[in-house]
Amino acid sequence: MDIVWQTPANPPEAKDYIFRNGRRHVRPYYFEFISHVKNRWAGKTIVDLFTEEFKGRPYEYYVSAVKSGRIQVDGEMVPVSYIAKSSQKISHFVHRHEPPVMAFEVTILQKEVDVLTVCKPASVPVHPCGQYRKNTVLGILQAEHGLAPLFPIHRLDRLVSGLLILARNAPKADTFRQQIEAGLVQKEYIAKVVGEFPDREQIVDANINYNAREGRSTAEVGASSEGKTACTKFTRISSNGTYSIVLCKPISGRTHQIRVHLQHMGHPIANDMLYLSENTIERSDEGLSADRAIVDSDCSLTSNLDEKYLNKYEDNSIDDFSIDPMCTNCPNLSPKGYGGQEEDLWLHCFRYSGPGWMYECPYPDWA
């Protein structure tokens, strides 16, 4: 096969995306992953090393990858019996399949000389991480608007939508960083929660303990708490008795802080399956969970998208992609094991403000 390998230096392009059933897919591409042998990997055969440390593919695949040169050591082909040594460079050339995301546009809100603000759609990561590279805010902005380099000055979880501020040069990014570290920046989110939220301002001081293995946090109070200090202020905006729209002002910035503090109060985000307690799941079990809202509602999701935006890519939506005979994901477009659940969490970044500046993002439809 005539294979063109991509590296991080290859910028995403508009033709890289395929739009199907309300989702943005990335046309699979060849990519080089580079790592270095850790001390605990040293002494293992190259095949055993990959099989034990990178469990996404079977032993037989790694044997074929070494024999064909898709796995190399210090830029050279090696036999399957090769013993890895500490600090050696190992390269894995793969046919990369990225998970799809919801096909909403990354809307540009303000474009200034030093700053770009956008409305991030839910389900789209901010920057390359894990299985995502082109299906990210940075990748999409580069591919569709030619905007690069960009420096995100704050984080938004993949499932969270809303305001994202990006500096357009390193000095401006450093200015924002200094203001954030000095506690001069205020953050405001809105959430749709279960139940009738109290009508007076609520302040939650509960430590956050994040469990990386489980991918979730817990709120802890008391002297025995091992979590990090965290504080969030909440104000009810509106309520219909069943659900409430709440303004959230995190004073600290811990993993899943707003989600956990709302759960701690007994008013979890109404479609947050990770933090809905047993006694509230039934109340939000009407197709409103972050999982079911997407899985069961493809038609409504597609109808809510900008038709003009999707029509720009009508040709791409029916294009095939090259099948690789060694790839463990082909012939599927999505990666193996992907369940098709791009979630739209009812948590939205609304406003960031600091010394002499303020940026806002419009409310989402659910608010």
Q: How many CB atoms lie within 10 A of CB 142?
A: 19
Q: What is the pLDDT of residue 200?
A: 93
Q: Residue holding tokens 């139940």?
A: 195
For residue 235, which phi and psi values (nearest 5 degrees)? -135, 130
**pTM of the model as a whole:** 0.84
* Torsion of Cα atoms, 95 then 100 then 101 then 103, to 10°: 110
Average pLDDT for 50-72:
94
Active site residue 2: no
- Beta-ladder partners of 19: 24
* Poorest-pLDDT segment among 81-85, 163-167, 224-228, 290-294: 290-294
**Catalytic entry in 16, 74, 157, 291:** 157
Q: What is the pLDDT of residue 56?
A: 84
Render pLDDT for 308-341 as a digit per residue (tens, 0 to 9): 555 555 444 445 688 999 999 999 999 987 766 6
The fraction of the chain above a pLDDT of 70, given in percent, is 86
3-state secondary structure of 71: strand
Q: What is the pLDDT of residue 17?
A: 96
Query: Which residues, other chains included, contact 227 with Cβ-Cβ below 8 Å and sequence gap of 6+?
Result: 207, 208, 209, 210, 217, 218, 219, 220, 254
Render pLDDT for 149-201 as a digit per residue (tens, 0 to 9): 999 999 999 999 999 999 999 999 999 999 999 999 999 999 999 999 999 99
Average pLDDT for 93-108:
94
Q: Give the residue, 249 or 290, on which the prediction is more confident.
A: 249
Average pLDDT for 34-38:
94
What order of strands is seen across the sheet that includes strand 17-20? 17-20, 23-26, 101-102
Residue 22 CA to residue 8 CA, distance in Å, equals: 27
Average pLDDT for 202-218:
90
Average pLDDT for 134-156:
96
Q: What is the pLDDT of residue 318?
A: 45
What's the full length of the chain, in residues? 367
Residue 201 CA to residue 240 CA, distance in Å, equals: 18
- Contact between residue 263 and residue 217 where contact means Cβ atoms under 8 Å apart: no
The answer, yes or no, to whether residue 219 has pLDDT greater than 50, is yes
Q: Which domains does the chain have, with CATH numbers?
A: 29-96 (3.10.290.10)
**Integer CA distances (angstroms), 256 to 80, 219, 252, 274, in order:** 43, 10, 11, 10
Residue 91 CA to residue 66 CA, distance in Å, equals: 10
